[in-house]
Amino acid sequence: MNTTVEVLGLTREAAWLPWAVQYFFLVGISTGAFFLSLPGLVWRSASWAGVSRRALLAALVCGLTAPVALLADLHQPGRFLNFYLHPNLQSWMAWGSFFIPLYVGGLLLYAWLCMRPQLARLAGQDGIGARTAAIYRVLAYGGHDNRVAVGVAAVIAALGALLILVYTGMEVMVVEARPLWNTPLVPLLFAVTAFAGAAGLTGLFEAATGHRGAAPLLNRCLARSQWAVLGLLALWWASGLTGVSSSAAQALDSMNGSPGWWLTGAWLAGTTLLALWLSSRRSQSLVLVSLLALHGAWLLRWIVFMGGQGLPKMGAAFRGYALTVTPDSLLGIVGTAGLFLTVYIVLTSFLSWEEPAAA
Amino acid sequence: MKAELQPSRRIFLSLLPAVTAGLAAPAVSAAPKQAAHWGMLIDTRRCIGCQACTMACSMENALPEGQFRTTAATYCVTTSEGRSGVAMVPRLCNHCEDAPCIPVCPVGATYKREDGIVLVDAERCVGCAYCTQACPYEARFINHDTGKADKCTFCSHRVDAGLLPACVETCVGGSRVFGDLNDPASEISKRLLAAEGKTSVLKKEAGTKPNVFYIGLDKELSGRVAGPSAAEMMWRPAQHGA
C-alpha cells in the first residue's frame, strides 16, 4: 500500500455559485407552497382556507424571485435567449427552461383567478382613490369566482410544479462525475425539503399576520416532512456504508478525511431532529419550527451544491467555498433576499392575505 | 526603381505562409489518407513537472490569471517498503469519445468535431457551467474574462494550421506526443503500438473513452487521490471576484 501526498495540484473553484442554491431553494419552496394552497383555494376546505391563502403568497413571492437568481447565475442575463433559440433536449437544464415559464405562468394565472373576487371587493372599497379603484377593477375583470377556471389553472400550475420538482432533481442526479449528486435520492430529498420549507415559510407568514390557529395543521405537515427527510438521509448513508450505492460510497469515502463534512452532517441531522421534536411535541409552536424547516431546506441545498463542488473529482485537495462580499457570493444572497422582501411588500401592500380565501 | 521591387516583395510575403505551413505539415501528418482522429499520449516517466506546458498553454490561449487548461500535478509516493519518489500526472481535457459534457449542454454549445476534438461554441455558450459539473476530469472551468465554458482545445487553431499544440511543442522532456490515431505511421500510433497495451487512461471506470493516453501512470493517481494535499504548497488562485 503506497502513501501519497499531493505536492502540487489544481482544484477548480465552484462553478455553480450561491445563486444556484438560492434558485433551487426558492423554486422548490414555491412549488411546495403552491401545493399547500390547493386544499383551501381549489377544494375549499374550511380548515385550510387561511393557510392556503398564505401558502399562495409564499408561492408567489418565491416563484417570482427564483428565476431572477437563475438569470444572475448566467453572468449576462440576456444569454437566456439561447435556451430557446438552440435547445438541446438531451439536457435536463434545457427542459427546465420550458418548465419554468409553464410553472410561473400557471401560478400567476391561478393566483389571479383566486384573487378576482377580492380585487372586485377592493375596487368598491371606500376610501381608496379613483385611480387605484380603476386598477383594481381592471385587474378583477368582473370579479367572478369561477371555480372551473381556478381548477384548470391549478392543473396547469400543478403540472408545471411537478415538472419543476422533477427537472431540478434530475438535473443534479444525472451528474455521474459528482458522487454526492449521483443518487436517485437527491430528487426526493429536494422535493421533501421543498415541502418542509414551504410549510415553514407559510408558517412564518401565518405568524406575521397573527394567524396562529393553523399552527397544529402546519406542524403535522412539518413533522411528516422531517420524518421523510431523516429517512431519506439515513437511506443514503446506509446505501453508502453497505456499498449498495457505489456513488454514495464514493461520496462518503471522499468526505472521510474532512472533519468539516462530519460537523455539517451532524448539524443537518441535529437541526432536523429538533424540528421534528418541536413539530411533534409543540403543536402551537410556529416561528422556531418554521425557521428550522427553512434552514433545513436551504442547508441541504448548500451542502449538495457548494459542498459537493468542493469534493475533489481528481487529485486530493478539497476546495472549500468561502463567502465573500461580492455580487456573486454574499451580496448575491442578500440581493435575492432583498428582491424576496420587495415582492412580499408589493403583494401584501396591494392585496390582503389575512382574510380567508372563501369568496 | 522602388516601384519595380515592390511586386517581388509582395509575392515573397504572400508565399511565406504557404512555405511555413508546408514545412510544418509533416510534424503532425496534416494530410492523412483517412480522416484524422487526434489524440495525445503522455509518457509520465518523461515528465519533470516543470509546468512549461502549463505556461505555454496559458500564453497561447491567453487564459486569465489563475485559470489553466492543463497542469502537471505532482505527487510524492512512498511505498510500503519506505521508498519515496515523485510522480507527475499532466492533466488536460481528454476529448472523450463519449464526452459527458456534450449531452448536458442545454444549448448544444459543446460539440465534437469529426477529428475527435471537443470544442465549445463560445457564441452559443450561456455560461451555465453544467458541462463543468459533468466533466469527470475537472478539465473545464468558467473563464473569468468571458463568463463562458473554457477547456483545452488541443490547440485546434494550431492543429488546423498544421502545427502541434503549444503544450506538446514546449514539453521539455518530450513527455507529450500528439498525433493522428488513425494514421499507423504517426508517432503516437507507433508509440501506442510499442507500449503493447500497457497504456492507461484517467478514470477508466467513468466509461468516457478518453483520447488522452498515459504511459507509466500509477492507478492510484488516475482519479481522485486518497491522501493528504500539501495545501500550503498548492497553487490556490484567489477566488474570483474576491
Residue-by-residue DSSP string for A270-333? HHHHHHHHHHHH-TT--HHHHHHHHHHHHHHHHIIIIIHHHS-SSBS--------SSTTTHHHH
Q: Residue B75 is nearest to which of A7, A80, A324, comparing CB atoms?
A: A7
- Helix ranges (DSSP H) in A146-214: 147-173, 185-208
Domain boundaries, chain A: 14-174+325-359, 182-321
Total count of residues recorded for chain B = 242
What is the per-residue pLDDT for A219? 95
CA distance A60 to chain B (A): 25
What is the per-residue pLDDT for B33? 62
pLDDT (tens digit, 9 = 90+) per residue, A93-147?
999 999 999 999 999 999 999 999 999 998 888 888 888 899 999 999 988 899 9
Q: What percentage of chain B reaches a pLDDT higher than 70?
A: 81
Total count of residues recorded for chain A = 359
What is the per-residue pLDDT for B1? 39
- Beta carbons of B224 and A313 less than 8 Å apart: yes
pLDDT (tens digit, 9 = 90+) per residue, A168-192?
999 999 999 999 999 999 999 999 9
What is the per-residue pLDDT for B235? 60
- Beta carbons of A309 and B133 less than 8 Å apart: yes
What is the per-residue pLDDT for A118? 92
C-alpha cell read off for B112: 465534437
What is the per-residue pLDDT for A2? 85
For domain B34-219, the CATH architecture is 2-Layer Sandwich (3.30)
What is the per-residue pLDDT for A77? 82
- Beta carbons of B127 and A11 less than 8 Å apart: no
Residue B42: strand pairing partners: B176, B214
- Beta carbons of A75 and B147 less than 8 Å apart: yes
What is the per-residue pLDDT for B92? 98
pLDDT (tens digit, 9 = 90+) per residue, A270-314?
999 999 999 999 989 999 999 999 999 999 999 999 999 999 999
Q: Is B125 exposed, middle or buried (0-12, 13-18, 19+ CB in 10 A)?
A: buried
* DSSP-based three-state secondary structure for B111: strand
Q: Which residue of A has its CA nearest to B239?
A: A13
- Beta carbons of B106 and A9 less than 8 Å apart: no
Q: Which residue of A has its CA nearest to B234?
A: A8
For residue B10, the surrounding DSSP H or E stretch is: helix B2-24
pLDDT (tens digit, 9 = 90+) per residue, A315-347?
888 888 888 998 888 999 999 999 999 999 999
- Beta carbons of B134 and A312 less than 8 Å apart: no
Domain boundaries, chain B: 34-219
Q: Residue B230 is nearest to which of A6, A74, A88, comparing CB atoms?
A: A6
Each residue's pLDDT tens digit in chain B (242 positions)? Answer: 344 445 566 655 666 666 555 555 555 555 546 799 999 999 999 999 999 999 999 999 999 999 999 999 999 999 999 999 999 999 999 999 999 999 999 999 999 999 999 999 999 999 999 999 999 999 999 999 999 999 999 999 999 999 999 999 999 999 999 999 999 999 999 999 999 889 999 999 999 999 999 999 999 999 999 888 886 555 666 555 44
- Which residue has cell 392575505? A353
Nearest to A155 by CA among A193, A107, A115: A107
Q: Which residue type sits at B38? A: W
Residue A66: strand pairing partners: none
Residues of A within 8 A of B108 (CB-CB) are 86-88
pLDDT (tens digit, 9 = 90+) per residue, A8-50?
888 899 999 999 999 999 999 999 999 999 999 999 999 899 9
Is A323 an interface residue toward B (CB < 8 Å)?
A: no
What is the per-residue pLDDT for B143? 96
What's the ipTM?
0.92
Q: What percentage of chain A reaches a pLDDT higher than 70?
A: 99
If one counts every other C-beta atom within 10 angstroms of the C-beta of residue A226, the result is: 28
Residues of B within 8 A of A318 (CB-CB) are 229
What is the per-residue pLDDT for A70? 87
Is A358 an interface residue toward B (CB < 8 Å)?
A: no
CA distance B53 to chain A (A): 14
CA distance A70 to chain B (A): 9
pLDDT (tens digit, 9 = 90+) per residue, A219-278?
999 999 999 999 999 999 999 999 999 999 999 999 887 888 999 999 999 999 999 999
Backbone angles phi, psi at A89, to 5 degrees: -75, 5
What is the per-residue pLDDT for A357? 38
Q: Residue B241 is nearest to which of A1, A317, A328, comparing CB atoms?
A: A328
